[in-house]
Every structure is written in structure tokens, then in C-alpha cells.
């Protein structure tokens, strides 16, 4: 099974900061990686698919990069609405695997 490791687990930042979250796969997943944002009591929301493609309607301050086993999600200028938990997810195989999540908190 493919394992996904996210870092950091928690991130404290201020509005306007540039934020980067890293995700590592236990084996190559090519570019079959997605990023989600989840707020308390809500379903996950797709932000990025295929490692770097921005989902329709998602602000351009979100970007993704990487391939193989190393991936990053970057928020170029953190906004108040961005304080949430972020998950990476691989879909290289028939099954999905999620990272453990990164909670972005207000500093």
C-alpha cells in the first residue's frame, strides 16, 4: 500500500504569509496527487488535482507542485478564509490514501 506523509502537522501563520505544506509518497505516484481543504463540520473541498492543476473556482493563491514522491502545496498570501486543515491524497492506484493532515492556525 502507498503511504502518504505530510509535514508539518500544524502550522501557525499570519494573514499575508506565504505557506508551504509538503507531502511525501512511499513510492512514485507520478502526478496522481490531489490537495483538499477541510473546515470543521464540512466535507473536504478539492483544491488541486494532478499535482498542479487548479480546480475550477479555487483562488489562484493556491498552487501545487511536484511529481514522483515529493509534492508541495503553496498558499502565496494567506487569507482569513484559508485557516483550515489541508490533506494530500494519492490516487495512483485504484484506492486512495490520504496524508494525516496539516492544520493551518492563526499565529
Partner 1 sequence: QVQLVESGGGVVQPGRSLRLSCAASGFTFSSYGMHWVRQAPGKGLEWVAVIWYDGSNKYYADSVKGRFTISRDNSKNTLYLQMNSLRAEDTAVYYCASDQGRWWGQGTLVTVSS
Contact 44, 37 (CB under 8 A): yes
Q: Select 83 or 98, whichever has its Cβ closest to partner 1.
A: 98
Decide: is 95 part of the binding site for partner 1 (CB under 8 A).
yes
Task: Compute the least distance from the CB of residue 17 to partner 1, in Å.
Answer: 24
Decide: is 94 part of the binding site for partner 1 (CB under 8 A).
yes
Looking at 23, 25, 89, 104, which residue binds partner 1 (CB under 8 A)? 89
90: three-class secondary structure by DSSP:
strand
Q: Select 36 or 75, whichever has its Cβ closest to partner 1.
A: 36
The torsion angles phi and psi of 38, rounded to 5 degrees, stand at: -135, 130
Q: Label residue 9 exposed, middle or buried (CB < 10 Å: 0-12, 13-18, 19+).
A: exposed
The torsion angles phi and psi of 81, rounded to 5 degrees, stand at: -75, -10
Contact residues toward partner 1 (CB under 8 A) are: 1, 34, 36, 38, 42-46, 49, 55, 87, 89, 91, 94-101
Amino acid at each position: 500500500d502507498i503511504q502518504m506523509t505530510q509535514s508539518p502537522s500544524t502550522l501557525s501563520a499570519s494573514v499575508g504569509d506565504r505557506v508551504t505544506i509538503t507531502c511525501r509518497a512511499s513510492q512514485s505516484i507520478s502526478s496522481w496527487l490531489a490537495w483538499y481543504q477541510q473546515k470543521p463540520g464540512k466535507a473536504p473541498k478539492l483544491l488541486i488535482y494532478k499535482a498542479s492543476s487548479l480546480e475550477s473556482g479555487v483562488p489562484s493563491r493556491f498552487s501545487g507542485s511536484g511529481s514522483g514522491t515529493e509534492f508541495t502545496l503553496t498558499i502565496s498570501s494567506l487569507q482569513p478564509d484559508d485557516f483550515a486543515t489541508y490533506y494530500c491524497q494519492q490516487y495512483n492506484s485504484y484506492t486512495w490514501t490520504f496524508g494525516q493532515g496539516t492544520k493551518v492556525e492563526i499565529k
